[in-house]
Structure 1
């Protein structure tokens, strides 16, 4: 029980920091968006091509594609975070190219620093000279920052991910429901579950729960949108495929959506915990990656059983959550 409390408490603590950074730090929300994109560009590609195309199907070329993509997570993070914050592509790639053999989190920090200072080069330094000075200064700065934060990252955020993973292993059903519910709320909020799971490098059963919860909970969101009349058919399809596309509706009706998200994600997380679904591709906690990446780390027959059950669990959560909202509204 102590491990569960510790794991959930640390997760909530990270979420609080995540929220503060995303909405209070300069361009924090844009930086987190870049981190989520970097997770897709590296970890998702690695999961699909290295583990499915390479290891499972046996196509060597696809395996090499996946290995290459996964090894460049730091480069992708630094580049995409800087670009998301408004840095020029040349500066962003200069920062990213300097991060050979460094992970996604040090890359994120380096990209954030470069994203803050790169626009200064364009404003203060003549065109042509700015790129040369950028190459001279940004590349070593990016690697210096990444190397400086790497030990801190490994001793804090990665250890938090390990505690959550341990708690999921020791108490899979409790963590299946709680972790699945929390992750689906994050998935349906302006915060990014992809960025969060990439940040703490979540793996194993805990990541499997997060992945299946993101997929199954999408059906809960669809049911909530339909039954509570939140938007049209396009909005329903959009929230099921990628909740962030409907952030304007979700933030206007948080109770209506998050109650269904928590229950749907929690029920789907229980399914994942029961079948022992694992996922060693952090940063893939989103509906569409949740549909695909489990095949990379589990037997296809097991995944083909889990996915429909997770969808039904999400639908159940959506009905219960929407009924609760309707009851509260009627009482008022």
Structure 2
């Protein structure tokens, strides 16, 4: 039952974010803000606090990293408003009051308030609009976040508990699911960092997220070169951060998503066998995640696992890439119905 519940919750979260991306007003812009906030706060915390501060005992860097990590609410509030076309000044006014809230409640509050701000920008005369925003936006944004935060956090904790239960009862079943989902999600605006954060992944599941994302970097680099997608600069860019090449990736969904899913499962099983753990949530990212592993595991075990995953990813992606070319599947694609453009 725990396996069904855990897998089900993973799929429900992914489905909900996919529906939001495709059908919510400014869904893509909203999720890009969510991903950007995670990158601008959690990545500095990962590198400065966990990778450098704790491992090398540099208190100054640890303090800076922890400060950045504590401002996810501010970051997502500001970026969400900016991505929805709100004035930078208004965006900061909203973002500042969300300081004490976690990523998702702050995002929901900012996303909803942004529509009211768009109306004020259009209807209220310039100059007077600032006063109206100051009087209304901070209180409304704070009130929404305060109201929904307990429920949202409780649901996320429940999901995290279900996922943990799966890992305890059948770690390989969880490895297969995470191996399928995490690398593919990292190639979409949903962002693997955001998904891992929302699920509250820690321990071996978080190590799976980090290392499968690293493996995906090798996979994407090889496939871009093998299938002649873009030039050398594009192959290098997608290996460093796949989110920078979303437009190109979307043109080859079957080849890239499919290959990453298959190899992701293999890599996830390798990580599970290794027994590596990562107790910092949100580290499903190609570079920071593997670096932070050194704060929680024996260095030799980490290096061996990373080398195995890198070699397996390169070999399997070369084999699959050559099969795709041999079977003339390089341009194979399914046409998806175009969505109506979202109103500005």
Q: TM-score if structure 2 supplies the norm length?
A: 0.88
Are the aligned partners of 1:122 and 1:130 in contact in 2 as well (CA < 8 Å)? Answer: yes
Checking the alignment, whether the CA contact within 8 Å between 1:82 and 1:115 is kept in structure 2 is yes
Q: What corresponds to 1:179 in structure 2?
A: 178
Partner of residue 48, structure 2:
49
Is the contact made by 1:99 and 1:142 (CA closer than 8 Å) also made in structure 2?
Answer: yes
- Indicate the residue corresponding to 1:107 in structure 2: 106
CA contact (8 A) 1:263 1:314 kept: no
Match in the other structure for 2:221 = 222
Q: Which residue of 2 aligns with 1:297?
A: 296
- Whether the aligned pair in 1 keeps the contact of 2:46 and 2:283 (CA below 8 Å) is no
What value does the CA root-mean-square deviation take over the aligned residues?
Answer: 2.2
Partners of 2:316 and 2:162 lie apart in 1 by: 27
1:26 aligned counterpart, secondary structure: coil
Q: How does 1:15-26 map to 2 (within 5 A)?
A: 15-26=14-25
Mapped partners of 1:117, 1:300: distance in 2? 51
> Would the alpha carbon gap of residues 173 and 29 (structure 1) be closer, same or farther in structure 2, given more than 3 Å must change?
same
Change (3 A) 1:153 1:250: same
What is the match of residue 286 of structure 1?
285
Q: Distance in 2 between matches of 1:139 and 1:213?
A: 40
Tell me the CA shift for residue 300 of structure 1: 3.5
The alpha carbon displacement at 1:210 in A equals 0.9
Q: Deviations over 1:218-267 (max 9, x none)?
A: 11122222222323222211221122222233222211112210122222
Unaligned runs of 5+ in 1: none
Aligned residues: 330
Aligned to 1:276: 275
Q: Deviations over 1:261-280 (max 9, x none)?
A: 01222222223222233333
Report the secondary structure of 1:226's partner residue: helix
Partner SS state of residue 110, structure 1: helix
Cα distance, 1:292 vs structure 2: 2.9
- Distance, in Å, in 2 between the alignment partners of 1:317 and 1:140 is 54
- Please name the residue that 1:201 is paired with: 200
Deviation at 1:30, TM superposition (A): 0.8
Residues 1:158 and 2:161 are matched in the alignment? no
CA distance in 1, matches of 2:127, 2:276: 52
Q: Please, which moves more after superposition, 105-114 or 313-322?
A: 313-322
Higher helix share: 1
Contact 1:44 1:293 in 2 (8 A): no
Alpha-carbon offset, residue 186 of structure 1: 1.3
Equivalence for 2:231: 232
Pair 1:138 & 2:162 matched: no
1: CA distance between counterparts of 2:83 and 2:279?
Answer: 26
Q: C-alpha displacement at 1:195, in angstroms?
A: 2.2
Q: 1:159 to 1:53 in 2, by over 3 A?
A: same
**Structure 1 stretch displaced more, 30-39 or 180-189:** 180-189
Cα 1:267/1:201, change in 2 over 3 Å: same
TM-score, L = length of structure 1: 0.91
- Give the whole-Å Cα distance in 1 for the aligned partners of 2:227 and 2:213: 21
Deviates more, 1:237-246 or 1:136-145: 237-246
| Whole-angstrom distance in 2 between the partners of 1:158 and 1:232 | 43
> Does 2:259 correspond to 1:249?
no
- Asked if residue 325 in structure 1 is aligned to residue 314 in structure 2, the reply is no
State the Cα deviation string for residues 154-185 of structure 1 (Å, max 9, x = none). 23233213322332243223322331222111
Give the Cα separation in 2 of the matches to 1:282 and 1:116. Answer: 31
Which residue matches 1:125?
124
CA distance in 2, matches of 1:108, 1:324: 43
Contact 1:40–1:283, Cα closer than 8 Å, also in 2: no
